[in-house]
Chains A and B, each alone.
Chain A
Amino acid sequence: METVPADGLIAASWLLIALPLAGAAVLLLGGRRTDRWGHLLGTGTVVAAFVLGLLCTLQLDGRQVEVGLYTFVATGSLDVPVGLLFDPLSAVFVLLITGVGALIHVYSIGYMAHDPRRRRFFAYLNLFVAAMLLLVLGDNYVALYVGWEGVGLASYLLIAFWHERPAAATAAKKAFIMNRVGDVGLALAIFLMFAQLGTVSYDGVFGSVGTLAAGTVTAIGLLLLLGACGKSGQFPLQAWLPDAMEGPTPVSALIHAATMVTAGVYLIARSAPIYDETPTARAVVLAVGAITLLIGAIAGCAQDDIKKVLAYSTVSQIGYMFLAVGLGPIGYVAGLAHLLTHGFFKAGLFLGAGSVMHAMNDQVDMRRFGGLAPHMKVTFVTFGLGYLALIGFPFLSGFYTKDAIIEAAFDRGDGWGYLLGGVAILAAGLTAFYMTRLMLMTFFGRPRWEPGVHPHESPPVMTAPMVLLAVGSVFAGFLLVVAFPLEEWLAPVFGEPVEAEHVVAPIVVSVLVTAVMVIGVLTAWLFVGRREVPAAAPVRVSPVTRAARRALYADAVNESLLMRPGQWLARALVFVDNRGVDGAVNGLAASLGGSSSRLGRTQTGFVRSYALSMLGGAVVVAGALLAVTAG
Chain B
Amino acid sequence: MSLTHYLVLAAILFTIGAVGVLVRRNAIVVFMCIELMLNSANLTLVTFARASGTLDGQIMAFFVMVVAAAEVVVGLAIIMSLFRTRRSASVDDANLLKY
Q: Are A605 and B96 in contact (CB under 8 A)?
A: yes
Q: Are B95 and A606 in contact (CB under 8 A)?
A: yes
Query: Is A612 an interface residue when CB atoms closer than 8 A count as contact?
Result: yes
Q: Are A607 and B98 in contact (CB under 8 A)?
A: no
Query: Is B21 an interface residue when CB atoms closer than 8 A count as contact?
Result: yes
The docked-state distance in angstroms from the alpha carbon of A615 to that of B96 is 21
Instruction: Give the residue of A604, A608, A612 whose beta carbon is less than 8 angstroms from that of B98.
Output: A604
Question: In whole Å, how far is A269's beta carbon from the nearest beta carbon of chain B?
Answer: 81
Query: Which residues of chain B from 58 to 99 have a CB within 8 Å of any chain A CB?
Result: 91-92, 94-99
Instruction: Give the residue of A600, A603, A604, A611 whose beta carbon is less than 8 angstroms from that of B21.
Output: A611
Q: Are A605 and B95 in contact (CB under 8 A)?
A: yes
The docked-state distance in angstroms from the alpha carbon of A610 to that of B99 is 13
Q: Are B18 and A604 in contact (CB under 8 A)?
A: no
Q: Fill in one digit per residue for A592-631: 1 if any B CB lies within 8 Å of its CB, else 0.
A: 0000000010011111101110010000000000000000
Instruction: Give the residue of B18, B23, B97 whose beta carbon is less than 8 angstroms from that of A607.
Output: B97
Which residue of B is nearest A604, CB measured? B98
The docked-state distance in angstroms from the alpha carbon of A607 to that of B95 is 7
Question: In whole Å, how far is A471's beta carbon from the nearest beta carbon of chain B?
Answer: 93
The docked-state distance in angstroms from the alpha carbon of A607 to that of B92 is 7
The docked-state distance in angstroms from the alpha carbon of A613 to that of B23 is 13
Instruction: Give the residue of B18, B98, B99 whose beta carbon is less than 8 angstroms from that of A615.
Output: B18
Chain B residue numbers with a CB within 8 Å of A608 are: 21-23, 25, 91-92
Q: Are A603 and B91 in contact (CB under 8 A)?
A: no
Q: Which one of A603, A606, A615 has the greatest number of beta carbons of chain B within 10 Å? A: A606
Chain A residue numbers with a CB within 8 Å of B30 are: 607
Question: In whole Å, how far is B76's beta carbon from the nearest beta carbon of chain A?
Answer: 16
Q: Are B91 and A607 in contact (CB under 8 A)?
A: yes
Chain B residue numbers with a CB within 8 Å of A603 are: 97-99
Chain B residue numbers with a CB within 8 Å of A600 are: 98-99
Q: Are A615 and B22 in contact (CB under 8 A)?
A: yes
Chain A residue numbers with a CB within 8 Å of B99 are: 600, 603
Question: In whole Å, how far is B31's beta carbon from the nearest beta carbon of chain A?
Answer: 11
Please count how many residues in chain B sit with their CB below 8 Å of the partner chain's CB atoms: 14
Which residue of A is nearest B94, CB measured? A607
Q: Fill in one digit per residue for B7-24: 1 if any A CB lies within 8 Å of its CB, else 0.
A: 000000000001001110
Question: In whole Å, how far is A481's beta carbon from the nearest beta carbon of chain B?
Answer: 95
Chain B residue numbers with a CB within 8 Å of A611 are: 21-22
Q: Are A606 and B92 in contact (CB under 8 A)?
A: yes
Q: Are B22 and A612 in contact (CB under 8 A)?
A: yes
Which residue of A is nearest B91, CB measured? A607
Query: Which residues of chain A from 247 to 287 have a CB within 8 Å of any chain B CB?
Result: none
The docked-state distance in angstroms from the alpha carbon of A612 to that of B91 is 14
The docked-state distance in angstroms from the alpha carbon of A437 to that of B22 is 106
Q: Are B95 and A604 in contact (CB under 8 A)?
A: yes
The docked-state distance in angstroms from the alpha carbon of A603 to that of B99 is 6
The docked-state distance in angstroms from the alpha carbon of A607 to that of B18 is 13
Which residue of B is nearest A618, CB measured? B18
Chain A residue numbers with a CB within 8 Å of B92 are: 606-608
Which residue of B is nearest A609, CB measured? B22
Question: In whole Å, how far is A259's beta carbon from the nearest beta carbon of chain B?
Answer: 76
Question: In whole Å, how far is B46's beta carbon from the nearest beta carbon of chain A?
Answer: 21
Chain A residue numbers with a CB within 8 Å of B25 are: 608
Q: Fill in one digit per residue for B29-59: 1 if any A CB lies within 8 Å of its CB, else 0.
A: 0100000000000000000000000000000
Chain B residue numbers with a CB within 8 Å of A605 are: 95-98
Chain A residue numbers with a CB within 8 Å of B96 are: 605
Which residue of B is nearest A619, CB measured? B18
Which residue of A is nearest B96, CB measured? A605
Question: In whole Å, how far is B89's beta carbon from the nearest beta carbon of chain A?
Answer: 12
Which residue of B is nearest A610, CB measured? B97
Question: In whole Å, how far is B16's beta carbon from the nearest beta carbon of chain A?
Answer: 14
Chain B residue numbers with a CB within 8 Å of A604 are: 95, 98
Which residue of A is nearest B97, CB measured? A605
Question: In whole Å, how far is A458's beta carbon from the nearest beta carbon of chain B?
Answer: 84
Chain A residue numbers with a CB within 8 Å of B21 are: 608, 611
Which residue of B is nearest A612, CB measured? B22
The docked-state distance in angstroms from the alpha carbon of A600 to that of B96 is 13
Chain B residue numbers with a CB within 8 Å of A610 are: 97
Chain A residue numbers with a CB within 8 Å of B97 are: 603, 605, 607, 610
Query: Which residues of chain A from 419 to 472 have a CB within 8 Å of any chain B CB?
Result: none
10 A–B contacts from the bound complex (CB under 8 Å): A603-B97, A603-B99, A605-B97, A607-B94, A608-B22, A608-B25, A608-B92, A610-B97, A612-B22, A615-B18
Residues of B in contact with A (beta carbons under 8 Å apart):
18, 21-23, 25, 30, 91-92, 94-99
Residues of A in contact with B (beta carbons under 8 Å apart):
600, 603-608, 610-612, 615
In the A-B complex, the 4 residue pairs with the smallest Cβ-Cβ separation, listed nearest first, are: A605-B95, A605-B98, A603-B98, A600-B99
Can you add 20 more A-B contacts, CB < 8 Å, to A605-B98, A606-B91, A607-B97? Answer: A600-B98, A600-B99, A603-B97, A603-B98, A603-B99, A604-B98, A605-B95, A605-B96, A605-B97, A606-B95, A607-B94, A607-B95, A608-B21, A608-B23, A608-B25, A608-B91, A610-B97, A611-B21, A611-B22, A612-B22
